[in-house]
Amino acid sequence: MIFSQAIKYLNYILLSHHRKGHGIHSPFVYDLVSRVFRNKIDPDVVLKVERVRQKMIFDNRIISVKDLGSRSGSLKTSLRRVSGIARYSAVPVKYGRLLSNLAAEFGYPLIIELGTSLGISAMYLAASCSDAVVCTVEGCPATASIARQNFVEAGFKNIMLSEGPFDEVLPGLANIGIKPGLVFIDGNHLKEPVIKYFSQLADLSDSKTVIIIDDIIYSKEMAEAWEEIKLHPKVSISVDLFRMGILFFRGGINHNNYAIRY
């Protein structure tokens, strides 16, 4: 698996556009890269969230994790230390910054996240878009409980955590009646469920919605899911960042797929 990911990364480097936007002919994507991807995040946001991460990294509690998708490649048992989840499963700070910038640009009025874990990514999403509500969904009671505590201790009041399987919670989100500005899918690493959740969320969305899928190179299944999702009729532009994939539903733009170094 490590070897195949190395080959994928080499292809990504060879075929991707420069992180500063050089060689990108789409005005929309160039603006996305130069203004949003490269935007300087408020250092207080990073400090606030990373304090929580550091606390979790030194948390030696052992919890029983109810994993409704595939297991992490680094964590092989249902009994896991919180510190291990924080080290290996939480979104890295580099991509936390990106999520925060994307939330600031596209998140209002509603951000939906599938896969809360310890709450690191939800806090990055919420921190830069305080006027938006972040609805985050977690299927594991143990991690959901820790995430709730993290949100309270860090002072986040615009995060709503729903606990339960995605299949049970998603219909309720459909009844809210508000189109999400931003969606982050990071709670299942199996092909069919990822495609299903994307399709359900695409049905909830309008042309302004942006959907982010994490771990698109995690496995052969995830890579296949990403390739299929890019062909969805609503998708006008896809952006491959190697780890994450970003999908736009903008009208009046010819369908195109981009790989961007981030």
Domain contains 64: no
> What are the tokens at 95?
């991509």
Structure confidence at residue 116 (pLDDT): 97
The per-residue pLDDT for 70 is 56
Residue 262: partners with Cβ closer than 8 Å, 6 or more residues away? 19, 37, 94, 98, 241, 242
Residue 215 within a domain:
yes
Please tell me the predicted confidence (pLDDT) of residue 72.
Answer: 47
CATH of the domain at 214: 3.40.50.150
Whether 78 is covered by a domain: the verdict is no
pLDDT at 73: 45
Kindly report each contact of residues 227-231 with a partner whose C-beta sits within 8 Å and lies 24 or more positions away, as own/partner: 228/191, 228/195, 229/194, 229/195, 229/198, 230/257
Residue pair 183/209 in contact by the 8 Å Cβ criterion? yes
Q: Tell me if 120 is assigned to some domain.
A: yes
Q: Kindly report whether the global pTM for this prediction surpasses the value 0.75.
A: yes
Spatial separation of the C-alpha atoms in residues 72 and 150, rounded to whole Å: 22
Q: Report yes or no on 160 lying in a domain.
A: yes
Q: Please provide the DSSP assignment of 131-168 as one string.
A: TSEEEEEES-HHHHHHHHHHHHHHT--SEEEEES-HHH
In a domain, 220, yes or no: yes
pLDDT of residue 74: 43
**If the chain, 262 residues long, is cut into consecutive pieces of 10 residues, what is the mean pLDDT of each piece?**
57 55 77 91 95 98 83 61 96 97 97 98 96 96 98 97 94 88 94 96 96 94 96 96 96 89 86
Q: Residue 16: which domain range?
A: 2-42+91-259
Q: What is the pLDDT of residue 176?
A: 84
- The residue with tokens 């002072």 is 155
Find the helix or strand (DSSP H, E) in which 80 lies: strand 79-81
What pLDDT score does 83 carry? 98
Q: Please count the structural domains in the chain.
A: 1
- Residue 77 is assigned to a structural domain of this protein: no
Asked if residue 75 belongs to a domain, the reply is no
